[in-house]
Amino acid sequence: MNDADVSKQIQQMVRFIRQEAEEKANEISVSAEEEFNIEKLQLVEAEKKKIRQEYERKEKQVDVRKKIEYSMQLNASRIKVLQAQDDVVNSMKEAAGKDLLNVSRDNHVYKKLLNDLIVQSLLRLKEPSVLLRCRKEDLQLVESVLASAKQEYAEKVKVHAPEVIIDKNVYLPPAPSHHNAHGPYCSGGVVLASRDGKIVCENTLDARLDVVFRKKLPEIRKRLFGQVAA
């Protein structure tokens, strides 16, 4: 083999090696690009996922805040409605309380009422001796009906007429007035108690109004507002 043949073979080998190197380089380049694209896609998807999760988290936060605000507004509205209803009911009670004052102004009606209240109190106490308190302004009327009230009680229960002592040292408060707008008051009626003070029957007009009002409150609310208060 002469030098020309050797040179030719060397050139062929160089071309082969170069071609293999170029093909390998192309393979590496293509593989690297594919890996890069895959990694880039994975990174993009990961970022997209993070963005979606962050958006969903913030969306949930906004939704929770909206629900809380709605609930607070709803509760505030309910409280306002209930307060307005209470104002109406209380104004009715105040009006009824003012009407009680007219009861004691009619002596004939009030005298009969005092008699009935004393009898009712005696029936509740069923004591042989009791203490009676009234307003100072009602003292004469109470004294005028006391005997008949005791007799009526005795006939109903079939016992001897009880001893009823009118307390002339401590009277029930007077009727409400402009001079005594915020102090204790009594629109009329009586309070009877056992001599030892352990049993008390408060039969004032104001106490009776409270009892009736509490008892009738669900019905009052239903008539006024179309529902029974919880």
Q: How does pLDDT run across 28-79, given as a tens digit for each residue?
A: 888 888 888 888 888 888 888 888 888 889 989 999 999 999 999 998 888 9
In angstroms, the CA 92 to CA 217 distance is 11
In angstroms, the CA 122 to CA 201 distance is 9
178 falls in which pLDDT band (50, 70, 90)?
Answer: low
In what helix (H) or strand (E) does residue 203 lie, and over which residues does it extend? Answer: strand 200-204
Q: How does pLDDT run across 111-125, given as a tens digit for each residue?
A: 999 999 999 999 999
Q: What is the pLDDT of residue 93?
A: 80
Q: What is the pLDDT of residue 78?
A: 87
Alpha carbon distances (Å) from 41 to 18, 29, 36, 45, 63: 34, 18, 8, 6, 32
Q: Which tokens hold the place of 195?
A: 């001599």
Q: How many CB atoms lie within 10 A of CB 194?
A: 16
- Mean pLDDT, residues 168-181 taken together: 82
Residue 134: is its pLDDT beyond 50?
yes
- Mean pLDDT, residues 87-96 taken together: 84
230 falls in which pLDDT band (50, 70, 90)?
Answer: very low
Residue 21: is its pLDDT beyond 90?
no
Say which DSSP state 131 is in. E
Q: Which tokens hold the place of 152?
A: 């009526």
Mean pLDDT of the chain: 88
